[in-house]
Structure 1
Amino acid sequence: MHRVIIVEDEFIVRYGIRSMIDWEKIGLQLVGEAANGKEALELMNDGMPDILITDIKMPVMDGIALIAEVRSISPEIKIIILSNLEDFQYAKEAIKHGVSEYLIKSDMMPRDFEQALLKVKESLDAARKGQTAGASPAQTEPMHKEKFLNDLIEGSISQADEGGQQAEKLGMAQPHTAYLMHISLNAAEQGYTERQASIRHIVEQVWVEDQWRYEVFPDKQGEMNVLFTDPAPDSSLISLLVQQANECISQLSKTFKLTATIGISGRFREWTDMKEAYAQAVKAAKQKMFLGSGRVMLHGSVEMQTPGAQAEHFKISSHQIQSMVYAFQTRELMEYLQDVFGQLAARRDVELVHIVSLELLMTLTTLWPDVSNDAQQVLQLKKQYFDELSKLETLEQSRGWFIQAFEALMQHMNGMYHSDRNSIIKATQYIQQYYHQEISLQSISSLVHLSKNYFANLFKKEVGESFLEYLTRIRIEKAKSLLTGDLKAGDVGSLVGIQDPKYFSKVFKKITGVSPSEYRQLIREHD
């Protein structure tokens, strides 16, 4: 397994990189982290990594100096550099040293980062295979077959003649009937190597060589696939295949406690059709999101049919969710979430589920700091959220998880409510006493030790008007009292905290319906 070191001065970025990737699943081992180049070199005294992931701008020793030093020690090491978009010119210097991948931090999504790692891993694997060129044909044939099959599913071999020639060299006969099976495992304790070995073991038990022609191989994401071929025409391969795929699922569960979902492609006859077959099998397996895991999904079957394009564009409103949370509208929020997941179920779009889940998670993790003063607790909660969410397999699991998470947030807020109401009372008392001074939402919320957003929403709920509306009304009430005397209207505005005479006059008229001078005249007439 290839060793990886992360070098990044910001802890939250290091944590994000560490948690967004299932390292074992893709055949990598994270062996260390460092906050700068100097720490990284000290770490490498215990052994050089195969892959170095490093930021460019860092204190003590930056990424450019680190890369130059590492290159002199280990020319074959693979390097992925991270940078901000504005630092690209600076990053060009590092690129001269021969980096494998360059990623922009702000644009870095888990899938893109994983693809970059897999690309680098593929290069390392190819180099290692090249070093085993002196091995016997019996040892190298499985490697060549796996590479050939991966080239087919990736579309690297597009000509039928080329595919047929390579297959013939590997002793693989042109099939009359072929199917591709994609085996997707639920999140499990087993590591990358153990999971693959478990699948190979069960496949060999379930499918006997003299009954089936098959090839087992991992794709670039580390998930296992099985190619089944039948040299005879008019075969009933598919019915037997589904039957024994179910047996494979059963044996993986009994023997290794692994929950597998198997997607099976449509029938194909040409090697170059394997790319489409792989896409069909993967798409079928992904339908476990809506149909449940631990079963066989057959491409083209009735249950695999998804609804047509939805006319209405679907998106969630983070602002609406935040408003319901701050207004303590638990029932309305739960109904909204149920509706969101109901629409996702109707669309049966796996990618859309992932996007919406990420948006909901971001909303959830944005709200917690607003309602908790324990920064460490919030950080631990965020880590817990990311860990738990990564293990969810179906839409129903996601629905239940998000409803439970938002209910926990609302319960926390309800528990804080009574004590926080006292903070609002303190805020109104402060405004009534110091209305003539400069008071901002930020300053008043800090004064009562509440976050700005939470304070603003709680203030409106308790007082019935926004903080600014309340402050302005108090100032105008005080101004009305002062206008009974001989002070100029502009001076009255300054005394109540509104320094601009024109703005004071505008606000006064908006609230009372008359200008300051007209108000004074009315008061004197009534006297």
Structure 2
Amino acid sequence: MWNLMVVEDEPIVRMGLRYMIHWENLNVCWKAEASNGEEALGILADEDIHIVMTDIRMPGMDGLALADEIKRRNPSIALIFLSSYDNFPYVKEAVRLGAVNYLHKPTMDEREVEETLQKAVEQLERTMQCQPPQLMEEKINAFLLSLLDKYTYPARIIVPELLEEPYRSRGVWLTTFRVRDDAASGVAETDRMKFLSIRCVIDEYASREWGGFVFHRNHREIIWLAPAVAGTGAEGKEARDAYVDKLRQRVFELLNVPLVISCSSVYGRLDQIPKAYLEAELNCPANQQFHSLHVRLAKEYVDRHLLEDVSLAKVAETIAISPSYLSRIFLKEVGESFSDYVIRNKTEYSKKLLRETNLKVYEIAEKLGYTNPHYFSKLFKERVGMTPLEYRNQ
């Protein structure tokens, strides 16, 4: 079902359109309506919209300005324009923006609206077929990674399976996998191909017998987020431990790669996934070559004190090692420097605040422990490629 949003400042026109045709028969869901362009952009930020039918002449942001912004944010959205004016410049601009059709409100009828919707659906189906699969995979991977940290946890779950059974009532748990350090080749391309092979094996066997989602962080760590109850009906700690061991053995048999594995217990709510991930990180056996105890403690400290002025010296003092040693082992085991790790996490949280709150930039900087908002904006632009305000307005 394709989601439709109608943007029209006259309520009577919106009502007339809503009851003019049977939208569901065209595989279209009347998802949302807005009375102006600004309201429509707010809805687009929160809802998954595929088709926008918008009036051209509206107070404030008009339909053409709205369409320009929509195309900049998401070029795959199908646009349909409405207007009371049979005006050639409007038609010309609609064509430039790639509109599906330009409907003249005083003369349009049920058949014309239906044909336009059918054309929009056909356009969307072609677009989805042409979309590179890796782009969708990267989007889902980024979303699943955002679930792992309370500072980046999303306002909306975009993977519908997570809102269904068995996740909804039985809970979730997760497992982390890494190639043991002494099994790494030291050649980046070789290690990357090995990593992809491991991920494919885990994904194939986990999804086939238990279920869940397999994703990765920077091609260094594989995370398996699973329902508490397997597709086969298995449940309980004993069953989970046995299945994880089975996965470990399968990877070793097929690829001759030893893995370091750590699991969480079951958590009843999706918003507790960050706790599950932290538990898995801290549960890693000390005698296995994963993150060392000191690195795990340093990451835990950063996660718990992200909204403060976190420094390498302060963390090193807390976990009783020298700053230089912590800096060296952190870079080796995590793959980025301690300061880059802190800045990346603060940046991700600031992106969430920019998307989901009305806090001013200086307030966000202050909240993240930056006393100088200009320095915060500079760091943000270096990592995101745009200023905080540009990111919020995109």
Q: Same fold (TM over 0.5)?
A: no
Shorter chain as normaliser: what TM range? 0.3 to 0.5
Q: Could you state the TM-score of these two structures normalised by the residue count of structure 2? A: 0.36
Q: Could you state the TM-score of these two structures normalised by the residue count of structure 1? A: 0.27
Larger helix proportion of the pair: 1
